[in-house]
Amino acid sequence: MTQVDWTVTLDTGLPRIDEQHRRLIGYSNDLLRAIAEGHGEASLQAFFEKLLDYTNSHFADEEEYMESVGYPDLEAHRAVHRRLINDVANSREKILGGVPVDPKRALEFINGWIVRHIMVMDSRIGEFVRIRARG
């Protein structure tokens, strides 16, 4: 398992959103470090608390931004955010309930959705804003 490094493919070109995405990736890299240091399981609960908290505020912020620029695909995007929040909330519940969760698999899953969501859906917000700015 490797660290997620910031690359241009993750750049939406929207500074505020990019900064929040960097923070999300930072959280997942923190968990990776904890796994490497042998305390992955002990760190999972705090990781999911932080992730749930931050994705909630980040998604709300991103949705507000999409609304402010008149982004046409807002509702579909919002629906995906809700699904992601549900997934994170479910994982958190499992961990709180004492269900054994493999930290490596949890991290792979989270990294997968963060990277895919940014590259596939969030990058389109940036494209939309840039095309509109060109008139």
Can you tell me which residue has the tokens 């493999």?
102
Q: Report the distance separating Cα 83 and Cα 29, nearest Å.
A: 23
User: Does residue 122 bind Fe ion (CB under 5 A)?
Assistant: yes
> Contact, 77 vs 121, CB < 8 A?
yes
Residue 62 or 110 having the CB closest to Fe ion:
62
Task: Report, in Å, the least distance between residue 76 CB and Fe ion.
Answer: 11
Residue 4 or 62 having the CB closest to Fe ion:
62
DSSP 10: G
> Contact, 48 vs 91, CB < 8 A?
yes
Residue 37 or 64 having the CB closest to Fe ion:
64
Which string of x and - marks every residue 50-89 that binds Fe ion (by CB under 5 A)? ------------x---------------------------
Stretch that binds Fe ion, among 29-37, 90-98, 117-125, 126-134 (CB under 5 A): 117-125
Q: Report the distance separating Cα 97 and Cα 93, nearest Å.
A: 6
